[in-house]
A and B are shown apart, each in its own frame.
Chain A
């Protein structure tokens, strides 16, 4: 049963991911992204990682994708524009990606996967919280600073202050 659900979710995730990159309308791409992320959240649930699934939905679907859709809608005339999705190097790119796909496949197939016999801790969320603030406290803190600097950087890049000096634009 869970196997069946997994395959459904996986196929939905992959197909909608393909749609994200191939559709010519940006808005549609964003919507398919939502679908992809949802499917992944579903897979998390299957893996008994409820907290992760919730976070996936909250942050990726709830915040990031919505933000993207807002940005698309606010951007002038991008919603209805169709964008060329391929360029002159599509053939080599496809070949190379296929080769990489095969290589990855080989890697996955050839590996004897270690299977954990330990049962998952009953209180998943509690354990994650404990780990985040003990073993992973350094990465946790660094992540917060990374996010902060990403924020600051975005502001620096996008803010428009001061008259731009004449003659310096786009030489």
Chain B
């Protein structure tokens, strides 16, 4: 009756989880100055997981496992690839910062890895319960990570805010799951789809409210307006590497869960217009508020909201084209956003000294490589041709046009134009303003450099030769529908 336990499906999750506990245990025996070993173990673990993910692409036969609770399909694997890349880069970004700012907290990497574990669960989950648990698994370490900078008021405040609102959102998510369970008597997505297909009577209104509440819970994690309010405060308060980490993976995880929920909602209720409005509101709101931000992390927080808006455009478009462009955009966004944060971390001296955009004045001549790299990331976030961001936006907006969402595409492009203004502000500050604050020499750490160079190369490579990545994203989308 039920499919047998199918271990290889959860190998990537296992790899991450085991690594997390190895790190936790090794941490106990390591003196403070040797904590860097933990980062190496973590990197190794994530690489192993990534390798397994790649191997699982070729998994034959039934890809469902554990009585239909989890699945290892192309969609899930694609997103797991994103999580692994994001986590890997975030670890590289963190190493020096962690050693400098909170050297005693070796659990830092455990938290990061377990959060990744949660994201992976979300990507594999075929059951609403599992999705919820994955979400909590992802979020709880994030709450802690946001507040890990214990000495800092804003960091603690960020953690508390994130936690309270996160719990609030989880309540809605659970309520939604309860409603769906009430309608179908099961939480298993596959089963629900079967029931709908079999013509079992159910109340569409009930299911609709339930799935909308679930979507709200997920939209909170992704940062969709009006469920976005936590983002600026938390992004600003959390340590920069943590912000880098949570701006990428968790968003992707929320999006993949939304895609899974879609399987239920699509036959029940047409949410196109809901997403249409959410997309417009989200990108416009994010972009407008980003304009006046002086703190670079806050600016990037609002910009991340705007990017979620673009993703919602892709989700509104839906179908294979929409989903593949969303999947592709998430990959691109992960890379370029972590790259930008890597530069922020690089520039952020002790205790986030250089955190305002105006502090970047004169960096163009003082740190030519970092400045040009930042310029490229900003260009990519703004969607200037030749960069990965452009290809991503192009795919999304051309998808919107192909499916007749002309106004959505127009609003999206106008929003991109607005966004270029505040991205260029950073570039202008770096190259055209005279420094006013006292100048501190910035130590460049090799691990940070690795992250910057990898992201830079990927941004350019994807920007010029997107084909392989696009076909991967297409594959991810083709199996979801």
Q: Which residues of A contact B (CB under 8 A)?
A: 103, 107, 110-114, 116, 134-139, 142-143, 145-146, 149-150, 152-153, 156-157, 161-162, 164-165, 168-171
Contacts and interface: CB of A to CB of B under 8 A. Distances in A.
B66 A142 contact: no
A146 B140 contact: yes
Interface stretch (B125-133, B271-279, B403-411): B125-133
B129 A136 contact: yes
Contacts of B203: 110-112
Contacts of B17: 145
Contacts of B144: 149, 152-153, 156-157
Contacts of B69: 135-139
A-B residue pairs, 6 tightest by C-beta: A153-B144, A170-B153, A111-B206, A138-B69, A111-B203, A135-B67
14 contacts: A107-B179, A114-B183, A134-B67, A137-B67, A138-B121, A139-B133, A142-B133, A142-B134, A145-B117, A146-B136, A149-B140, A153-B143, A156-B111, A170-B152
Contacts of B110: 149, 152
A139 B104 contact: no
A164 B351 CA distance: 13
B475 to A, nearest CB: 25
A136 to B, nearest CB: 7
A106 to B, nearest CB: 9
A97 B429 CA distance: 46
Contact of A169 (B66, B141, B151, B159): B151
Contacts of B117: 145
Given A146-B137, A157-B159, A168 B151 contact: yes
Chain A CB within 10 A, most for which of B143, B150, B159, B206: B150
Contact of B70 (A138, A153, A161): A138
B472 to A, nearest CB: 27
B222 interface: no
A143 B135 CA distance: 11
Given A138-B121, A145-B137, 20 more contacts: A103-B209, A107-B209, A110-B203, A111-B183, A112-B201, A114-B182, A134-B2, A135-B69, A138-B10, A142-B137, A146-B133, A149-B144, A152-B144, A153-B140, A153-B143, A156-B107, A164-B150, A168-B351, A170-B152, A170-B153
B205 A150 contact: no
A129 B201 CA distance: 30
B368 interface: no
Contacts, number: 100
B206 A142 contact: no
B185 interface: yes
Contacts of A142: 121, 130, 133-134, 137
B326 interface: no
A145 B138 CA distance: 11
Contacts of A112: 201, 203
Q: Which of A143, A146, A169 has the most CB of B within 10 A?
A: A146
A165 B150 CA distance: 11
Which one of B10, B201, B205 has the greatest number of beta carbons of chain A within 10 Å?
B205
B202 interface: yes
Contacts of B127: 139
B147 A149 contact: no
A113 B153 contact: no
A160 B183 CA distance: 48
A133 to B, nearest CB: 11
A152 B205 CA distance: 41
Nearest to A165: B151
B49 interface: no
B114 interface: yes
Contacts of A136: 69, 129
A143 B205 CA distance: 31
Contacts of B67: 134-135, 137
Contacts of B159: 157
